[in-house]
């Protein structure tokens, strides 16, 4: 065994020793480490080295060129003509065609939400991790997309479907699944367990050896794994290897915060969970030094930040506080809370980045706004979203009380007005939200239904009975193309303006995910920050009017250097630094730079 392999094995043993310190194991830690390496293709059966690459720490494997599109495999599909027996392309093939036609010059990564056979939760209750849902396509379709776009894939690691083969084995008490799932006793103290749902935590399940209480963080169809059993960890190492072989570049660790459970605790963000993330990173980056981990932790901001570790856990974390704070800013017309939060955010170390988003397949989470927005602000936000046709998801909080967990609404409908009601500024407000997000430190992620301005799907909510379906519309490709080709349609206008912003963003070195950022001290009707490229050759002042009235920007507030030429990248208008003030129209954003040709 080479020095690199030996060091990797020693590191894995050290990590395993922490994870399983309080667990009685059948196999010694060196054996478990060797099996993990073999599962990942890091050693063959004789223990020889096999494609092991020592990672380079604190390396930025991303740039201002990176943009991630979030989509389901069947967000766009083709429909056979009425009365026709002709087959139609698989949805993944239709998606690939859409990406090449509309996104190839602005978006270079695509997050395809779980595309595996599933039983509920639109894919997040996985039946089989090793196959592609035949209703979507095949592994060939996934690999074809990965050849044109960086592929981001969900590792649904906390739980799987109650209809999976592993859980059927658990019921029958047969290997390997018989010890794969976390069970508790009815006498266990679960009073402190943090829940994202209101359903009972434990599911009574009759097995071949008696009744067991199975732990279900999310729903009774989503049964939680027991990572105290190293066989579960090894099984997921095999899954990760498969996904790498199929072209995966980015792994999204779904619901990772709930992974390790200890009754009598909160069962969230436990030290063992963090160490599992570090171990998974160790395995992944030694197998592919260009592969990345993003943790999906829909939790309060301070807790979320801990998943960076010391640049040795997640490469990126979802910036979960951004969506509720930015929506609140645009609905209230005050940037106070967004500004205070941004000032408190530490810059991401080299080797890490923030994954910025303002809409996704899920709702707008409210837990990440806890401690950042007051109860009054949250209540006003909830009531406004309800008036705009949205829904509210709930969770069980302290003392069994229900608290709002997330807002379910299409983002463009969430921004159809303000706290005062609907108005004529919907598109301008929506584009303003994206202009703010695209300029922030980090890599932007854009939901496909934001890219094309999809509105609330009330019919789908009625059909599924699920609030989240309101923002999970499925487009027939001919209908979508017709809308996108119509210059007067809302969808055309949204796609055109967002595409323009992305084109501009990708050409600016000051928008590198790790470029310097400072929050500007402007009055609450404006929101702004300053970015400077890593080589310090380009500066951009990003300033938005977040109200429905014209606002005056006093140029002295941002200290433009009068000897330099400043240009608004978005409008291409030049700004005279010697002027005393400049007027921003409702929801207008300026990207002021002293070097607009950053190439």
| CATH number where 563 lies | 2.60.40.1180
For residues 99 and 69, the answer to whether their CB atoms sit within 8 Å is yes
Does 566 map to a domain?
A: yes
Q: CA 135 → CA 93, 115, 344, distances in Å?
A: 12, 9, 45
- In the chain, how long is the greatest CA-to-CA distance? 82
> 96 φ, ψ to 5°?
-60, -40
- Please report the sign of the dihedral spanned by the C-alpha atoms of residue 407, residue 410, residue 411, residue 415: negative
Give exposure, 317-338, as e/b (b: 16+ Cβ within 10 Å). bbbbbbbbbbbbbbbbbbbebb
Residues near 264 by beta carbon (within 8 Å), at least 6 away in sequence:
188, 189, 192
Cα(391)–Cα(385) distance, rounded to whole angstroms? 7
Cα(112)–Cα(49) distance, rounded to whole angstroms? 33
Domain of 569 in residue numbering reads as: 516-593
Determine which one of 121, 254, 288, 477 is catalytic. Answer: 254
Pairing of strands 76-77, 551-554: unpaired
Give the start-end residues of each E strand in 194-284. Answer: 202-207, 210-215, 222-224, 248-254
The DSSP code for 126 is B
pLDDT at 378: 94
pLDDT at 46: 53
Cα(120)–Cα(160) distance, rounded to whole angstroms? 10
Q: Measuring CA to CA, which residue among 54, 55, 52 is closest to residue 1? A: 52
pLDDT at 598: 43
Q: 395-404 long-range contacts, Cβ below 8 Å, gap at least 24?
A: 395/195, 395/196, 395/197, 395/198, 395/367, 396/195, 396/197, 396/198, 402/198, 403/366, 404/366, 404/378
Helix axes 477-485, 490-506, angle to 10 degrees: 80
- Both ends of the chain: CA-CA distance in Å? 46
Does 588 map to a domain?
A: yes
pLDDT at 599: 45
Q: Is 288 left (phi over 0), alpha (psi -120 to 50) or beta?
A: beta
Q: Measuring CA to CA, which residue among 338, 216, 250 is closest to residue 69? A: 250
Cα(519)–Cα(329) distance, rounded to whole angstroms? 15
Q: What are the structure tokens assigned to 384, written together?
A: 């406004």
Does 471 map to a domain?
A: no
Rg (C-alpha) for the chain, rounded Å, is 25
pLDDT at 44: 53
Cα(566)–Cα(580) distance, rounded to whole angstroms? 14
Does 356 map to a domain?
A: no
Does 536 map to a domain?
A: yes
Give the start-end residues of each E strand in 208-319. Answer: 210-215, 222-224, 248-254, 292-295, 316-318
Cα(77)–Cα(82) distance, rounded to whole angstroms? 15
User: Edge-to-edge, what's the strand order for the sheet holding 402-408?
Assistant: 364-365, 402-408, 391-396
Q: Is the peptide bond before 176 cis (omega within 30 degrees of 0)?
A: yes
pLDDT at 563: 63
3-state secondary structure of 572: coil
* Per-position pLDDT tens, the chain of length 599: 678 899 999 999 999 999 999 999 999 999 999 999 999 999 754 545 567 888 888 999 999 999 999 999 999 999 977 666 678 999 999 999 999 999 999 999 999 999 999 999 999 999 999 999 999 999 999 999 999 999 999 999 999 999 999 999 999 999 999 999 999 999 999 999 998 888 999 999 999 999 999 999 999 999 999 999 999 999 999 999 999 999 999 999 999 999 999 999 999 999 999 999 999 999 999 999 999 999 999 889 999 999 999 999 999 999 999 999 999 999 999 999 999 999 999 999 999 999 999 999 999 999 999 899 999 999 999 999 999 999 999 887 766 778 888 999 999 999 999 999 999 999 999 999 999 999 999 999 999 999 999 999 999 999 999 999 999 999 999 999 999 999 999 999 999 999 999 999 999 999 999 999 999 999 999 999 999 999 999 999 999 999 999 999 988 888 877 667 789 999 999 988 777 789 999 999 999 998 754 44
Does 544 map to a domain?
A: yes
- 254 is annotated as an active-site residue: yes
Q: Measuring CA to CA, which residue among 592, 594, 588 is closest to residue 552? A: 588
Does 560 map to a domain?
A: yes
- The CA dihedral of 587, 106, 249, 118, to the nearest 10 degrees, is 70
State the total domains in the chain.
Answer: 1
Q: What are the structure tokens assigned to 341, written together?
A: 């939060």
Does 59 map to a domain?
A: no
């Amino acid at each position: 065994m080479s020095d690199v392999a030996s060091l990797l094995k020693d590191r894995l043993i050290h990590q395993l020793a922490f994870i399983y310190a309080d667990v009685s194991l059948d196999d010694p830690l060196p054996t478990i480490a060797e099996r993990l390496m073999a599962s990942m293709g890091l050693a063959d059966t004789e223990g020889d080295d096999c494609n092991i690459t020592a990672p380079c720490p604190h390396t930025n494997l991303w740039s201002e060129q990176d943009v991630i599109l979030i989509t389901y495999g069947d967000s766009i599909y083709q429909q056979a003509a009425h009365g026709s027996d002709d087959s139609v392309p698989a949805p993944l093939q239709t998606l690939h065609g859409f990406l090449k036609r509309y996104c190839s010059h602005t978006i270079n990564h695509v997050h395809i939400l779980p595309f595996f056979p599933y039983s509920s939760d639109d894919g997040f209750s996985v039946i089989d991790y090793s196959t592609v849902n035949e209703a979507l396509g095949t592994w060939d379709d996934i690999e074809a997309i990965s050849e044109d776009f960086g592929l981001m894939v969900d590792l649904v690691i906390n739980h799987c479907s109650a209809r999976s083969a592993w859980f059927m084995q658990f019921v029958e008490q047969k290997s390997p699944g018989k010890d794969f799932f976390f069970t508790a006793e009815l006498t266990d103290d679960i009073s402190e367990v943090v829940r994202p749902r209101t359903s009972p935590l434990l599911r009574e399940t009759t097995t071949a050896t008696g009744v067991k209480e199975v732990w279900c963080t999310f729903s009774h169809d989503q049964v939680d794994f027991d990572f105290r059993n190293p066989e579960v960890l090894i099984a997921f190492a095999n899954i990760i290897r498969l996904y790498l072989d199929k072209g995966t570049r980015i792994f999204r660790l779904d619901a990772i915060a709930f992974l390790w459970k200890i009754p009598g605790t909160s069962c969230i963000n436990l030290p063992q969970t963090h160490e599992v993330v570090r171990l998974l990173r160790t395995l992944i980056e030694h197998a592919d030094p260009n592969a990345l981990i993003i943790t999906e932790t829909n939790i309060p901001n301070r807790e979320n930040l801990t998943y960076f570790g010391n640049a040795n856990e997640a490469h990126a974390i979802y910036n979960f506080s951004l969506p509720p704070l930015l929506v609140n800013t645009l609905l209230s017309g005050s940037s106070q809370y967004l500004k205070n939060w941004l000032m408190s955010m530490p810059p991401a170390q080299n080797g890490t980045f923030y994954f910025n988003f303002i809409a996704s397949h899920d709702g707008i989470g409210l837990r990440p706004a806890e401690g950042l927005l007051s109860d009054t602000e949250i209540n006003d936000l909830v009531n406004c979203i309800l008036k705009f046709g949205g829904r509210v998801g709930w969770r069980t909080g302290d003392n069994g009380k229900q608290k709002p967990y997330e807002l379910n609404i299409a983002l463009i409908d969430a921004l159809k007005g303000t706290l005062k009601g609907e108005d004529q500024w919907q598109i301008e407000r929506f584009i303003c939200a994206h202009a703010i997000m695209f300029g922030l430190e980090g890599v932007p992620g854009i939901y496909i239904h934001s890219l094309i301005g999809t509105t609330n799907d009330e019919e789908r909510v009625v059909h599924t009975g699920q609030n989240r379906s309101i923002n999970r519309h499925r487009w027939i490709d001919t209908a979508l193309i017709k809308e996108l080709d119509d210059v007067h349609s809302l969808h055309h206008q949204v796609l055109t303006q967002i595409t323009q912003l992305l084109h501009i963003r990708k050409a600016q070195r000051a928008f590198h995910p790790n470029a310097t950022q400072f929050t500007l001290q402007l009055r609450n009707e404006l929101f702004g920050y300053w970015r400077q490229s890593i080589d310090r050759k380009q500066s951009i002042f990003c300033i938005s009017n977040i109200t429905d009235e014209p606002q005056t920007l006093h140029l002295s507030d941002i200290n433009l250097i009068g000897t330099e030429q400043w240009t608004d990248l978005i409008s291409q208008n030049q700004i005279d630094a010697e002027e005393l003030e400049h007027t921003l129209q409702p929801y207008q954003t300026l990207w002021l730079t002293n070097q607009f040709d950053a190439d």
